[in-house]
A and B are shown apart, each in its own frame.
Chain A
């Protein structure tokens, strides 16, 4: 599985957009980019995923570069409740395998008032 690289920590002001980068330069054509977050003392929560095109849902937007070697998760209006560790994961999508979800170290996002 392709590895990901994320900054260990980031700060963001409440109400501003939080832009979390992820490098996945060895990603292959059949691998999706997934984002999860883990709020302290809880299980990880699915946020969004994408293959090639940009994606948006009620939680966030995912911007994937054209060469697919990096992506950015955008929380458009960060709140204090968005303080969490954010994990960027690449996962193969073949039917037979399903793909394991392997976690890296993630980015600890602190949203400050």
Chain B
């Protein structure tokens, strides 16, 4: 298994600002993902974070709004840029040790935009 930590655990931000969320894993993993969970909704995949190259974004998500970095096999960041109240959500980091393994989730970052 993998133990995932996220920072910050929660934050309240003003509209128009940006927030960077960090995801740290206790072991090297092949795949890292970022999900969003809007209030009362299921999880939506934002992107796959690729080490050393640009992230692969799902339909409806763009790099300018959600830039992602993954400098190594244990760390990734997601930035939520130019925030609006509609960005208020829980953002979750998720990993797989190998492509075929189970997928593990971090505790999430609860973001409120005012």
Main SS class of interface, B = strand
Which of the residues B42, B48, B107 comes within 8 Å of A104, measured between beta carbons?
B42
Residue B43 lies at the interface, judged by CB distance under 8 Å to chain A: yes
Q: CB-CB < 8 A to A87: which residues of B?
A: 42
**Central interface residue in B31, B48, B100, by most chain A CB within 10 Å:** B100
Q: Does A113 contact B (CB under 8 A)?
A: no
A101 touches B45 (CB 8 A): yes
Size category of the A interface is 20 to 34
| B35 contacts across to A, CB distance below 8 A | 103
Give residues of chain B (24-48) contacting chain A, Cβ–Cβ below 8 Å: 30-31, 33, 35, 42-45, 48
- Complex Cα distance, B90 from A103, in Å, reads 15
Q: How far, in whole Å, are A6 and B69 apart by their CA atoms in the complex? A: 35
Q: Which of A16-24, A59-67, A76-84, A92-100 lies at the binding interface?
A: A92-100
Q: Which of A43, A46, A106 has the most CB of B within 10 A?
A: A43
Residues of B within 8 A of A (CB): 4, 30-31, 33, 35, 42-45, 48, 92, 94, 96, 99-100, 102-108
